[in-house]
Amino acid sequence: MRNRDIILVLDFGSQYTQLIARRIRESKVFSRIVPYNISIEEIKKINPKGLIFSGGPMSVYDKGAPLPKKEIFKLKVPILGICYGAQLITHMLGGKVKKTDEREYGRAELFIDAPKDIFFNLPSNLTCWMSHGDEIKKVPDGFKAIAHTLSTPVAGFSERRKKIYAVQFHPEVVHTQRGNQILANFLFQICGCLPRWTMDKLVKQQIKEIKEIVKDKQVVMGLSGGVDSSVAAVLINQAIGKRLHCIFVDNGVLRKNEVTSVQRTFKNHFKMNLQVIDAQKRFLTRLKNVTDPEQKRKIIGDEFIKVFQEVAKRKKKVEFLGQGTLYPDVIESSSPLGGPSVMIKSHHNVGGLPKRMKLKLIEPFRELFKDEVRQIGKYLGVPENIVKRQPFPGPGLAIRIVGEVTKERLEIIREADERVLEEIRKAGLYDEIWQSFAVLLPIKSVGVMGDKRTYENAIAVRCVNSVDGMTADWVTLPPDLLAKIANRIINEVPGVNRVVYDISSKPPATIEWE
């Protein structure tokens, strides 16, 4: 993805760092999250049009507080500091930051004192979102305050000559009015970016790069039938055609009728090279007695790679492994490029990769979010039933079974999950909900069925809405729909006598239970 304007978002540990990157891309400018301590040489190599310092949980005067290289201010690249980012600019350039008497969190009325530059074409006051326990007491020499709230005298400041701007509030969250325009003003008014991060240009560039990298070699592609791997397979297929070998691994933790559906779509519709590998026994053997979620994910990722490498050995000139890895997969599996954000969970196609893997990776979506991949799928003509398909985790039903994975427990969750999806579709809600599924809990409870006492499994139903999977809110389903789902699961799935509904948002919970 060369020849484009790029904005680097330096990660200081904020829960909103990924959201900043998303907002920039919504303005058709490419963004990338990098660690706060990225080297000056690396920044020069990337040659960004602007830098954004994210918020963060620490105070600039804390021991070990994350700070960028001081030389960053000599690069003559426009800078925007947000929350902690504003405080570190103050701290590093000679201003004063002190703890407030009372932490300011939530909505506040922002008064704009200089309606230009990042506040160009904005009203004199608007609602903003604050989240800080420190405040800027004195701006650095040469800087001027450009906004305030009733309790925060310096809610924004700038040095126009150096193109350094800072805001104490969070323009990236929906609670800040006209926040997208504030970011757009930085991108276009200050950095001089052009809105050319479009799907058609991205697809053409990706196809060109895949051709250049692969040359005359072969690629094996792990196809799951989900949105990410499906769209990636179609994209790679457009680049190299029959030199792509799609491999669908029946690992025993798939949804009902998944194998038949994948064969029908890719072998018949797309005419791709598709090989189905029955590996149920080897996966379930390795998962036996395993209850730790991270261990499950790593086992499944490791076994996937082993299967791919075995298949690759039997083919000539195979040097690459294609994957539908997304940016959130990379972010959640490890601290982004060495930044301060903690690992949330590993993903089978990131955290499960062996250190000495023989195949080189082709991951065209490694820097993209889910909704961007859906846009590419639509552009490439991928059928709507795939493009709009709800996300399904790489480790499959193994992480929707809390506890040990067995054939018996898989059968229970498979049938329960099928009924959840059937009822969601019947209600016309499938395309409106980001993800809807069932989870088999590691507990049994007492029930009564046919005048007899039962002691059987409990199923949790989870439905959430999201844009990119980084944050999610639980969906308020109609009571009659919940009743239908519960009744069908209890009456039709042997071994279940209780159904509960998960009303947790992300954060603090994750979308999947494991």
* Residues forming the active site: 83, 170, 172
Helices marked H in 110-246: 179-184, 199-214, 227-240
Cβ(345)–Cβ(329) below 8 Å: no
Please report where in the chains the tokens 């059937």 appear, as a residue. 422
How far the first Cα of the chain sits from its last, in Å, is 33
Residue 119 Cα to chain centre, angstroms: 30
- CA dist list (Å): 265 to 51, 174, 269, 273: 43, 38, 5, 12
Q: Which residues contact 483 (CB under 8 A, 6 or more apart)?
A: none
Q: What is the rounded radius of gyration, in angstroms, for the C-alpha atoms of the chain?
A: 25
- Cβ atoms of residues 130 and 168 within 8 Å: yes
What's the half-sphere exposure (Cβ side, CA atoms, 13 Å) at 510?
14
Angle between helix axes 293-313 and 280-287 (nearest 10 degrees) is: 150
Task: Please state whether beta strands 318-322 and 218-222 pair in parallel, antiparallel, or not at all (unpaired).
Answer: parallel
Cα separation values, 349 from 58, 222, 249, 335, 363, Å: 32, 9, 14, 16, 10
Helices (H) and strands (E) in the chain, counts: 14, 18
The tokens for 119 are 């506040």
Please state whether the peptide bond connecting residue 507 to the residue before it is cis, i.e. omega within 30 degrees of 0: yes
Residue 69, token pair as written in the block? 């290289």
**Where does 226-292 have alpha helices with state H?**
227-240, 258-262, 280-287
Residue 427's φ and ψ, nearest 5 degrees, are -80, -5
Q: Which residues contact 463 (CB under 8 A, 6 or more apart)?
A: 424, 433, 435, 436, 474, 475, 477
Distance CA 319, CA 223 (A): 17
CA distance 453 to 447: 6
Structure-block tokens of residue 284: 């379930």
d(CA 401, CA 323): 25
Q: Is 398 exposed, middle or buried (0-12, 13-18, 19+ CB in 10 A)?
A: buried
Residue 418 three-state SS: helix
100: helix, coil or strand? Answer: strand
